[in-house]
Amino acid sequence: MKFKGLSGEFNLINERLQPPGYQIVNVIGKGEREIGFWTPTCGISRQLQFINNKKNCSSTSINKLGPIIWPGESLATPLGWMVPNKKFFKVGVPESSQFEEFVSAQKDPRTDEIVGNGFSIDVFKAVVDAMPVSMPFQFIPIRVNRPGDEDSLINEVILKNIDVLVAATSIQLNQSFYVDFSTPYTDLGVSMIVPIPTDQRKDGWVFLKPFTTILWLTSIATFMFTVTVVALLEHQINTEFWKKPKIRLSTVFWFSLSTSIHRDRVESNMSKFVVIIWVIVLFVLTSSYTASLSSLLTVQQLTTTTISGLQRNNDYLGYRRGSFVLDLLKRWYFDESKLKALDNLEEYHEALSKGSGNGGVAAIVDEVPFVNIFLSKHCSRYTSIGPIYNSDGFGFVFQKGSFLTSEFSAAISKLKDDGDIDRISNKWSRLQPSCENITITPPSNSLSLDSFWVLFLFMVTASSIAALLHIILAFYKNYQKRVVQQKTPNNDDDLAVILFRPGAETDLSSFRSIQTPDTVIYSRDDSSYR
């Protein structure tokens, strides 16, 4: 049955009334607003369409509907969870804090409401704004026994007195069994604050520290070997060896040393090859030594403030009261009697100024965000070493299994990618050092043979090959001399001495020859030879 009546088209199929369409409305409180229509033929559309053929329908997509206002007056589509049936989320903030740059709570005199302030508070508000749903909240002040007592703050979450904890709270593994932490929103790591050295330490043997003992011995041995090879290659053809009446070890050593520093000239091509290689090796060793010594002199006074140096010297070490750093130092086998708890920046400065031997501390170990705050005020006198330990940074704390954990973590990651957290950090300039400060890493070990063994091996190999070739050529020349002697028996042995005496080959021009029927005589003013 199908006909048009007063209310519109009346259509019965299989004894069921077929509606012509539905109006889609957005209910807002007690009111409503139209956002589209649905018809059996065309489905969902922005405008009402009475068409019998689907081919004539316009695009039917939910995206064609009017804007939907979701609960909480948000235009973003919710992710599937609902705000619990209460008016506000309870967000806990500590009443007192060691570092108000991160979080502080004050009461607004006009409204008597708690107002939060600080870097962590600004990040929290930015995260709430970035979430796809509205999250009404109110700050709840938390009284702690002493500033920095993170365990007391986290206990409020465990006892479900608050829904979220916003404080300078470090992400800790031992607490993650009872509460949930969001993704960290601060720098990671633990650093150490130490005084900037003012005077160089008076160490008369510091010039030996750039190289290890093995490297020194290897360098000396390689030099002596090169000295011997150069002397072997030069003593037959270089007249410098014959200026003195006797050839001694000191003569050989001084000639090779002066050759290395370009005072004397080498004659043999093999000697030149060996000396060139030795000069290259010497240049590399000298450059490495200079760089290593400069580094040692720069950070020499800081070498005792490494973790191993503090343990070895039995110095006092400071840490922030209530921080997990105390447990970390205990795991590093520090004597607890040598650890001092500090509460604020003034105590940091006072303890470092006194020093370990005068009732203070030699260094302070703390997380990077707190170290940056301290250096922003005292970076002209102190510096940081590290990070010496990889911590997880600061995070927001939620009740175990809270749906807010994943939503906050996703929003924090988005804010990091967009650079919003960096902009918030720049707003709080005290979180960054206000003057140029150099972060010094612990000095590395002295240079060892492992860094130069290829260079020494190449030097020794080249010198050995040159010496071996020289010895082979010497034997070959000696063999030729014996052959000549056998073929000319009338020549006197003194002439052979002259012809084959080392250094005499180039002196024949000073002789004049006298030829007789049986003998050739070479003579000079001082003597004559047959």
Nearest residue to 415 via CA among 83, 127, 78, 53:
127
What value, to the nearest 5°, has the Cα angle with vertex 306 and ends 301 and 309? 85
Partners of 92 in beta bridges: 140, 165
Q: What is the DSSP string of 407-468?
A: HHHHHHHHHHHHTHHHHHHHHSGGGS-SS--PPBPPPPPPB-GGGTHHHHHHHHHHHHHHHH
Contacts for 277 with CB less than 8 Å, ≥ 6 apart: 458, 459, 462, 463
Q: Among all chains, which residue has been given the structure tokens 């986290």?
A: 154
- Give the global pTM: 0.51
Answer for the pair 130, 183: CB distance below 8 angstroms, yes or no.
Answer: no
Contacts for 289 with CB less than 8 Å, ≥ 6 apart: 210, 211, 447
Position 530 scores a pLDDT of: 41
Position 398 scores a pLDDT of: 94
Position 8 scores a pLDDT of: 66
CA 359 to chain centre: 34
- pLDDT mean values, one per 10 residues, the chain (530 residues): 73 74 87 84 75 62 72 71 67 82 80 82 91 83 76 90 90 89 88 73 68 87 82 66 51 54 60 81 86 68 64 87 86 89 88 87 89 83 83 90 89 90 78 50 62 85 85 80 70 46 46 49 47
Position 440 scores a pLDDT of: 47
Position 435 scores a pLDDT of: 54
Report all structural domains of the chain as residue ranges with CATH numbers, in order of start: 2-64 (no CATH), 84-188+392-418 (3.40.190.10), 452-529 (no CATH)
Helix (H, G, I), strand (E, B) or coil at 161: coil
Q: What is the DSSP string of 274-315?
A: HHHHHHHHHHHHHHHHHHHHHHHHHSGGGGGGSHHHHHHHT-
